[in-house]
Amino acid sequence: MYRARSLINPLMSWRTASSRSRLLATQVKMHSMPPRHQPSRTWLKTGLFLTGGLTFLAIQSNQQVHAEGPVYPGAVEDPSSHLLFPVYLDTNKDWKRLIGLGVRQVSFLHINVYVLGLYMRSEDIGELQSDPKWKDFDKAKFLENEELALSLLHQPIDISIRVVPVRNTNAQHLRDGFTKALIQRMRSQKLSEAEEQKIQQAIKDFNTKFMSAKIKKDTELVFTKTRKNELKMEYQGEDMGTVADPWVAVNFIMTYLSPDAPASEDALQDIATGFDNLMHPKSTA
């Protein structure tokens, strides 16, 4: 469970039991959506919310979640990197809700590389709750094989992965990591020679369209598997391009949802917990 990180100090108004009671009454409902206009740069309300496997606090403050790029109200903290992630993500005026997040590490050095979060539209979450394969969601099965995740990604819905580097890096380093993961998934599948050639061409298109520049820490890249099964790429709200290939779109997301070799075990576990809470919401007293 992720703990909330306060953006102002001290929290004088939270020291009474009555205040805590009022906060517990302000949970976000399953189908609630954020305002349709651009969020304010200040935090307008104080409240306790529950989303997926994450508990977070929205505190009144004049500080921004990020120094550069898009700014969102409401955030959760990744405990390993202490990066703040927005609860709702605005992708071209299409709001998505955070399901889970976690840190990607260099395995042999245990150095944090970036934090990622998975986001879905609340409408699509509602559809998922009535899906025969998902309404009886089993977290253990989700973490055992790819069947549930693939059934989700093959539906005509948008799913976004938000990536935020924890240190200054360059685009080539990140691109090579993404490409390596895609190639590993391609090699693990039983594909014909023609299918492999088509995928390799799509991966080349991915590399060509990926930005070539230095990337500052705490800036965001967003990768969206669209309803058309394309992979849309953005950096700091600017369009990098779209890879019009279903295999790349699905398998890019699967590099984070595959239980066999996830890019981030922390993220996979938290995303699974997030789906579990969304499919089986727990009532509060």
Domain assignment present for 5: no
Mean pLDDT of 251-270: 96
Whether 1 is covered by a domain: the verdict is no
Pairing of strands 159-165, 221-225: antiparallel
The domain spanning residue 74 has which CATH number? 3.50.70.10
Residue 109 is predicted with a pLDDT of 76
- CA gap 87, 46 in Å, rounded: 14
Q: What is the pLDDT of residues 84-113, one digit of tens each?
A: 999 999 987 889 999 999 999 987 778 999
What's the mean per-residue pLDDT of the chain?
A: 80
79 vs 203, residue with greater confidence: 203
269 pLDDT exceeds 80?
Answer: yes
Whether residue 3 is contained in a domain is answered as no
- In-domain check, residue 246: yes
Query: What pLDDT digit, counting tens, does each position of 22-32 carry?
Result: 333 333 333 33
Per the structure block, which two tokens stand in for 264?
A: 């981030």
Name the token pair of 246.
């279903």
Most confidently modeled range among 2-16, 20-34, 64-78: 64-78
- DSSP string computed for 156-172: S--EEEEEEESS-EEHH
Rounded to 5 degrees, φ, ψ at 176 are -65, -35
Residue 135 has what pLDDT? 87
Q: Which one has a higher pLDDT value, 165 or 38?
A: 165
Residues 6 or more apart whose Cβ sits within 8 Å of residue 139: 272, 273, 275, 276
pLDDT, one tens digit per residue, over 228-257 is 999 999 999 999 999 999 999 999 999 999
In a domain, 284, yes or no: no
- pLDDT confidence of residue 265: 95
Mean pLDDT of the 123-130 span: 92
Inter-axis angle of helices 265-279 and 122-129, to 10 degrees?
Answer: 70
Do 109 and 85 form a contact (C-beta atoms < 8 A)?
Answer: no
At 150-190, the pLDDT tens digits run 999 999 999 999 999 999 999 999 999 999 999 999 999 99
In a domain, 189, yes or no: yes
Residue 56 has pLDDT above 60, yes or no: no
Q: Can you give the pLDDT at residue 284? A: 53
Report the percent of the chain where pLDDT is more than 90.
64
Q: Is pLDDT at 270 greater than 50 in this prediction?
A: yes
Which carries the bigger pLDDT value, residue 81 or residue 36? 81
Which residue is associated with the tokens 């295999």? 247
Confidence of residue 283 (pLDDT cuts 50, 70, 90): low
List the single range of 27-31, 142-146, 214-218 with lowest mean pLDDT: 27-31
Q: Is 171 part of any domain?
A: yes
pLDDT at 281: 84
State which residues form the domain around 262: 12-279
For the entire predicted model, the pTM comes to 0.76
Q: Residue 71: what pLDDT? A: 62
Whole-number pLDDT of residue 72: 66
pLDDT value, residue 257: 98
220 found inside a domain: yes
Is the pLDDT confidence value at 145 over 90?
A: yes
Tally of domains within the chain: 1
